[in-house]
Amino acid sequence: MDRHAEAFLEMLAAERGASRNTLAAYSADLADCGAFLSARGIALSSADAPALRAYLESLADAGLSARTAARRLSALRQLHLFLYRERIRPDDPTAELDRPKLGRRLPRVLAQAEVAALIDAAAAAPAPAGLRDAALVELLYGSGLRASEVIALPRAAFRQGAEALLVRGKGGKERLVPLGPRARAAIAAMLEAETAEEKARRGQAPPRWLFPARGASGHLTRQTLGLIVKRAAAAAGIDPARVSPHVLRHAFATHLLEGGADLRSLQAMLGHADVATTEIYTHVSAARLAATVAAHHPLARESHAKPPRSRPRG
């Protein structure tokens, strides 16, 4: 790899604390562009705008998505901004490049009957795991929490009879999320079912987390939560590939909008900084309405669509 690109990656690790996965992604994207330019006798750190534009066009020719091209352009912009600030080159050629247009990717949504089947399947697991699994699914769907927010809920966040939870979300921002009667009951049942052995093992002090585990963090991991949801989906006869904790968050938002909730309230409950992020769910609802019309309206089906008869003359 270009030595200047290596210096950029070292800066990301040392100054920005980039994770191993982030560094690997940047390295792969820059290496791909570097290989394309090297075959044309151009160094990555000295490429001009036409050369970089040719690279992005090659991605489209290879059938890669606009989202992939946008990600690689982002890596190139970060690199060249670094080169410019470090005075390794006098300009930033990526300033002349247009970002690929991305279509709005609509989130996958479960039907209300599917969510009900999922909750029933989670609760049907042998106790005490079934009680915990039911509480998890009820929270994901009933409160619209992110997976990271659910697993990191402190035990103190739950108060018997409370109708809301105080959640710490992205950026450490706190917000109140609804806690419906079903979720309250599921959590209460889970806590009441703790065995005497568990209570004796921990002594007088209750666990810090609402969903404790024996790992280093002391609480469930996102991976374990994902497996719990997929296991419940399989038991409910739903393709596990269609279900994840985030899909249940999408279902919460979409079903609320379909029930008449306003966009600003939904934004607050989901913890979105920008209402534009929440607006994706209006597109989901519109898409589902269009699909319903296409499936059930007689004039929408081609087999029923007949040209109007012409009126006889005379």
pLDDT score of 293 more than 70:
no
Q: What is the pLDDT of residue 92?
A: 93
pLDDT score of 289 more than 70:
no
Average pLDDT over residues 150-179: 85
d(CA 166, CA 179): 10
Residue ranges with strand state E in 192-231:
none
Dump pLDDT digits (tens) for 83-142: 999 999 999 999 988 887 765 555 677 889 999 999 999 999 888 889 999 999 999 999
pLDDT score of 193 more than 60:
yes
Q: Which residues are catalytic?
A: 146, 170, 246, 249, 272, 281
Query: What confidence category does residue 303 fall into, taking pLDDT thresholds of 50, 70 and 90?
Result: very low
The angle at the Cα of 176, spanning 232 to 109, to the nearest 5 degrees, equals 35
pLDDT over 90 percentage in the chain: 49
Mean pLDDT is lowest, of 5-14, 76-85, 140-149, 265-274, for: 265-274
Reference 134, options 30, 276, 235; nearest CA is 235
d(CA 232, CA 288): 25
pLDDT score of 302 more than 80:
no
Q: What is the pLDDT of residue 113?
A: 93
**What pTM was computed for the model?**
0.59
Q: What is the pLDDT of residue 304?
A: 46
Average pLDDT over residues 203-227: 87
State the average pLDDT for the chain. 84
Q: What is the pLDDT of residue 23?
A: 92
Where is pLDDT greater, at 161 or 195?
161
pLDDT score of 230 more than 80:
yes
Q: Which domains does the chain have, with CATH numbers?
A: 3-96 (1.10.150.130), 112-294 (1.10.443.10)
pLDDT score of 283 more than 90:
no
Dump pLDDT digits (tens) for 44-83: 999 999 999 999 999 988 888 888 888 999 999 999 999 9
Other CB atoms within 10 Å distance of the CB of residue 63:
7
Neighbouring C-alpha atoms within 13 Å toward the C-beta of 75: 23
Q: Which two tokens stand for residue 91?
A: 């300009």
Average pLDDT over residues 193-219: 76
d(CA 106, CA 104): 6
Q: What is the pLDDT of residue 285?
A: 59
